[in-house]
């Protein structure tokens, strides 16, 4: 059954969370990335940044009403953790653009084998574009981690030889987590697979990918549990 | 005696004229000066250029101002939030001009204007269509785009406490665009939850000093018609 070869969104988020180093400062974007925080081990003290000026936040405890002046980039209510700080938005973007975040975790429409990312517009005439903080995040973060479905709705590949949509940043993506694979972007060689979903063949993964895939020496088999 | 307190929301927004550029704080619903926006809707100025992170949601507040045809152009980073129905309709009908700016660049352009700086180089957007028509330069192997300062005639700001000198504090992440917009506008109008006696905000707790603020008004100050 083809569907069984894809990992759930939650599992992709969990795999992403496992690779985040203790003590990291990270930014979480829209889409599957919003699921990543719940899989972060609190003992790792990973500090989440939200572009609207919050450093040190977590999901709102169920049952609490939330506060309109405490939201994240997805406009969800959040709460502060011990040690949190709140700054104005230009200082928040200095954290992003200035290289102070260890990683940004965001979705994308397309990623190219040279690390280019397209995430803000399909370029279609009636498309409503939206950049938000994405261009600043990818310009400055030490690692740019894309977490997304491997294929677009309709089945078009999203991991490309070259992006066809307008770019968000050039040569910036370092790692990609999808429902089919974990892929590192090597600036010299392109896409290097280091994990593949259980039951998925290399041929099937390549058929779902526009760009040629290389494989790490040690490729993990990614199981749902 | 310095007294920047306006007695009503309508008095606070009275100087805004047709063709004005108006910065509005807010990130989604957080930090939105709802009462000042409603006062501006009632006030009637049109042909406005609005500078704000988003383009309004549903059919209230900023979206209502758009729907009434009062906005010629919007400068923002993210007009496609869920619920941005009015902007979507106007944009697709070609009835509003959009200048899409990456959020950090939007902030830094305003900060530059307020801080007396000229054009500046940022790595954000290098090599993308955002850089079309702008100077791009590679320095030490890294690409940059030349961006221009962005000032405005007015800023509508949601703050928390103010005194009669216009010193401001903000509540939680409603701070957002406030400090930068206060600097970048010729006339800054801040709505607050409370106006407190001069000296009761500790100097080191003042986030925006009154030198950047022209008028303060309680958000519940009666919106009497002039």
Domains plus CATH for chain B?
18-100+151-218 (3.40.1080.10)
CB contact under 8 A, B172 and A93: no
Distance from C-alpha of A30 to C-alpha of A3, rounded to nearest angstrom: 24
Contacts of B151 (CB under 8 A, 6+ apart): B21, B110, B113, B114, B184, B185, B186
Q: What integer is the mean pLDDT of B90-104?
A: 96
CA B128, distance to chain mean position in Å, is 26
Q: What integer is the mean pLDDT of B52-71?
A: 95
Question: CB-based burial of residue B187 (10 Å sphere; 0-12 exposed, 13-18 middle, 19+ buried)?
Answer: middle
Substitution target in B76, B105, B124 with the highest count of A β-carbons within 10 Å is B124
Greatest alpha-carbon pair distance for chain A in Å reads 50
Asked if B188 is an interface residue toward chain A (Cβ–Cβ < 8 A), one would say no
DSSP alpha helix (H) spans, chain B: 9-13, 34-43, 62-67, 85-92, 103-115, 178-184
Average pLDDT, chain B: 96
Domain ranges, ordered by start, for chain A: 2-180
* Catalytic-role residue among A45, A51, A149, A224: A51
Instruction: Specify the pLDDT at position A4.
Output: 58
Q: What integer is the mean pLDDT of A102-118?
A: 97
Instruction: Specify the pLDDT at position A176.
Output: 98
What is the per-residue pLDDT across A53-80, written as a single tens digit (0 to 9) for each?
999 999 999 999 999 999 999 899 999 9
Q: Which residues of B touch A34 (CB under 8 A)?
A: none
Q: Which residues of A touch B122 (CB under 8 A)?
A: 97, 139
Q: How far, in Å, are A94, A135, A137, A168, B128 from residue A141 at the CA level? A: 11, 10, 6, 13, 18
pLDDT-based confidence at A123, cuts 50/70/90?
confident
Q: Look at residues A163, A94, A166 and name the one whose alpha carbon lies nearest to residue A133.
A: A94
Among A residues 136-155, those touching chain B with beta carbons less than 8 Å apart: 136, 139-140
Partners of B138 in the β-ladder: B143
Considering A25-34, A59-68, A174-183, B75-84, the range whose residues carry the highest mean pLDDT is A174-183
CB contact under 8 A, B122 and A139: yes
Domain A2-180 listed as CATH 3.40.1080.10:
yes
With vertex at residue B74, the alpha carbon angle to CA B69 and CA B79, rounded to the nearest 5 degrees, is 105
pLDDT value at B225 more than 80: no
Q: What integer is the mean pLDDT of B14-27?
A: 98
Substitution target in A49, A51, A52 with the highest count of B β-carbons within 10 Å is A52
Contacts of B55 (CB under 8 A, 6+ apart): B62, B63, B66, B74, B76, B79, B81, B84, B86, B87
Q: What integer is the mean pLDDT of B16-42?
A: 97
Identify whether A224 is a catalytic site residue: no
pLDDT value at B224 more than 60: no
Tokens of B41: 């809707």
What is the per-residue pLDDT across A166-189, written as a single tens digit (0 to 9) for each?
999 999 999 999 999 999 999 999
pLDDT value at A1 more than 60: no
Partners of B99 in the β-ladder: B75
Among A residues 39-58, those touching chain B with beta carbons less than 8 Å apart: 50-54
Q: What integer is the mean pLDDT of A118-123?
A: 92
Among B residues 20-49, those touching chain A with beta carbons less than 8 Å apart: 27-31
What percentage of residues in chain A have a pLDDT greater than 70?
98
pLDDT value at B85 more than 50: yes
Instruction: Specify the pLDDT at position B82.
Output: 83
Question: How many residues in total does chain A contain?
Answer: 225
pLDDT-based confidence at B81, cuts 50/70/90?
confident
CA B182, distance to chain mean position in Å, is 8
CB contact under 8 A, A52 and B79: no
Q: Look at residues A159, A155, A207 and name the one whose alpha carbon lies nearest to residue A183.
A: A159
Q: How close A137 comes to chain B (CA, Å)?
A: 8
Q: How close B1 comes to chain A (CA, Å)?
A: 30
What is the per-residue pLDDT across B113-153, written as a single tens digit (0 to 9) for each?
999 999 999 999 999 999 999 999 999 999 999 999 999 99
pLDDT-based confidence at A131, cuts 50/70/90?
very high
DSSP for B124-169, please give it. Answer: TTTTSGGGTTS-EEEETTEEEEEE----EEEEEEE-SEE-TT--B-
Q: Which residues of A touch B27 (CB under 8 A)?
A: 52, 71, 89
Number of A/B CB contacts below 8 angstroms equals 130
């Amino acid at each position: 059954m083809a569907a069984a070869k894809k990992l759930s969104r939650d599992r992709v988020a969990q795999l992403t969370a496992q690779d985040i180093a203790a003590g990291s400062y990270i930014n979480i974007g829209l889409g599957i990335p919003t699921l990543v925080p719940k899989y972060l081990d609190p003992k790792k003290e990973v500090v989440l940044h939200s572009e609207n000026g919050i450093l040190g936040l977590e999901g709102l405890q169920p049952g609490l009403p939330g506060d309109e002046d405490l939201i994240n980039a997805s406009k969800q209510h959040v709460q502060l953790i011990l040690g949190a700080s709140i700054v104005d938005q230009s200082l928040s973007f200095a954290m992003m653009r200035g290289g102070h975040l260890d990683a940004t975790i965001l979705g994308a429409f397309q990623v190219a084998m040279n690390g280019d990312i397209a995430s803000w517009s399909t370029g279609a005439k009636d498309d409503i574009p939206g950049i938000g903080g994405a261009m600043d995040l990818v310009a400055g973060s030490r690692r740019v981690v894309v977490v997304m479905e491997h294929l677009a709705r309709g089945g078009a590949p999203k991991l490309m030889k070259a992006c066809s949509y307008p770019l968000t940043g050039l040569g910036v993506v370092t790692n990609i987590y999808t429902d089919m694979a974990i892929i590192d972007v090597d600036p010299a060689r392109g896409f290097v697979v280091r994990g593949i979903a259980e039951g998925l063949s290399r041929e099937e993964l390549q058929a779902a990918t526009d760009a040629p895939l290389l494989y790490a020496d040690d490729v993990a088999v990614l199981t749902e549990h | 005696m310095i007294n920047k307190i306006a007695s009503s929301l309508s008095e606070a927004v009275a100087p805004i004229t047709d063709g004005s550029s108006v910065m509005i704080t807010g990130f989604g619903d957080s930090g939105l000066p709802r009462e000042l926006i409603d006062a501006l809707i009632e006030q009637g100025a049109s042909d406005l250029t609005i500078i704000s992170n988003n383009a309004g949601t549903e059919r209230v507040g900023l979206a209502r101002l758009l729907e009434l045809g009062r906005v010629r152009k919007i400068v923002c980073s993210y007009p496609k939030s869920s619920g941005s129905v009015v902007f979507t309709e106007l944009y697709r009908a070609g009835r509003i001009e959009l200048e899409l700016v990456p959020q950090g660049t939007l902030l830094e352009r305003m900060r530059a204007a307020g801080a007396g700086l000229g054009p500046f180089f940022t790595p954000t957007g290098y090599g993308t269509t955002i850089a079309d028509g702008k100077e791009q330069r590679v320095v030490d192997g890294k690409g940059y785009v030349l961006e221009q300062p962005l000032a405005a005639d007015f800023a509508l700001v949601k703050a928390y406490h103010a005194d009669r000198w216009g010193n401001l504090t903000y509540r939680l992440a409603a701070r957002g665009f406030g400090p930068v917009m206060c600097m970048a506008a010729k006339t800054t109008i801040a709505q607050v939850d409370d106006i407190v006696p001069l000296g009761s905000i500790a100097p080191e707790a003042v986030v925006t000093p009154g030198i950047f603020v022209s008028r303060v008004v309680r958000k519940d100050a009666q919106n009497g018609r002039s």
